Amino acid sequence: GQQVMQIPQYQHVQEGEDFTTYCNSSTTLSNIQWYKQRPGGHPVFLIQLVKSGEVKKQKRLTFQFGEAKKNSSLHITATQTTDVGTYFCAGPDRGSTLGRLYFGRGTQLTVWP
Amino acid sequence: SQTIHQWPATLVQPVGSPLSLECTVEGTSNPNLYWYRQAAGRGLQLLFYSVGIGQISSEVPQNLSASRPQDRQFILSSKKLLLSDSGFYLCAWSKHEQFFGPGTRLTVL
């Protein structure tokens, strides 16, 4: 079945260091979405990438969608303590119009001050 | 604007007791609705999704059930809770991206 894999599962960095999480799909995706879940909170939508090779930036966050539309990455430059949380990627169910998403297991980011 | 509500926020229930979690959405019509469960420090497990009133699709066999009695109401139920039902239950609705409710933290003792 369709799967979305995400690595690493955990990442601990010192404030100011960079951070990257990687997402790979078993199938070609029409789009990929990224979510952030703060500790104790619920996932919040960050961004959607649609085009092959697309790169989008949100301040210190850079999102990339691979040329084959099967992988994606989120890179945070100079992490801050406010970046703490779990980052999930998600891809839509292939051939479905139901809005069902396959979520990666997430990367839990800890930032030491 | 659209909002999604879940209640209760936290719940402690004994093993074998029933469960009813409610989710309501405001500001949109005919949304796709989803129930997820998240174990501590883990990913999101899709439990049920619904594309309309009375239409429920189940992702995994379990002792939970879902119902959608109204367009913007989604209910998660159980007749008898198990210890393994403990977790963080999230309701979501979607347009293109998914919007999650605040969640219910369930502890089964």
Question: For A99, which of B41, B43, B94 is closest by C-beta distance?
Answer: B94
Average pLDDT, chain B: 93
- Given a contact cutoff of 8 angstroms between Cβ atoms, the answer to whether A47 and A58 are in contact is yes
Judge: B97–A33 Cβ closer than 8 Å, yes or no. Answer: yes
Q: How many CA atoms lie within 13 A of A30 on its CB side?
A: 12
The pLDDT tens digits for B44-61 are 999 999 999 999 998 876
Contacting residues for A80 by C-beta, under 8 A, at least 6 apart: A15, A60, A111
pLDDT tens-digit map of B55-94? 999 887 678 999 999 999 999 999 999 999 999 999 999 9
Kindly give, in sequence order, each residue whose CB lies less than 8 Å from that of residue A82, ignoring residues fewer than 6 positions away. Answer: none
Cis omega before residue B69 (within 30°)?
Answer: no
Confidence of residue A96 (pLDDT cuts 50, 70, 90): low
The predicted structure's pLDDT at residue A95? 67
Question: Do B99 and A33 make contact, defined as CB atoms within 8 angstroms?
Answer: no
For chain A, give the mean pLDDT.
94
A-B contacts (CB, under 8 Å): 48
Q: Which of B42, B95, B98 sits opposite A101 (nearest CB)?
A: B98
Residues 6+ positions from A6 with CB-CB distance below 8 Å: A21, A22, A23, A24, A88, A89, A104, A105, A106, A107
From chain A, pick out residues whose CB is under 8 angstroms from the CB of B32: 98-100
Q: What is the pLDDT of residue A97?
A: 59
Best to test chain A binding among B32, B97, B99, B105 (most A CBs inside 10 Å) = B97
For A42, which of B42, B51, B90 is closest by C-beta distance?
B90
Chain B hits for A43, Cβ within 8 Å: 44, 90, 98, 100
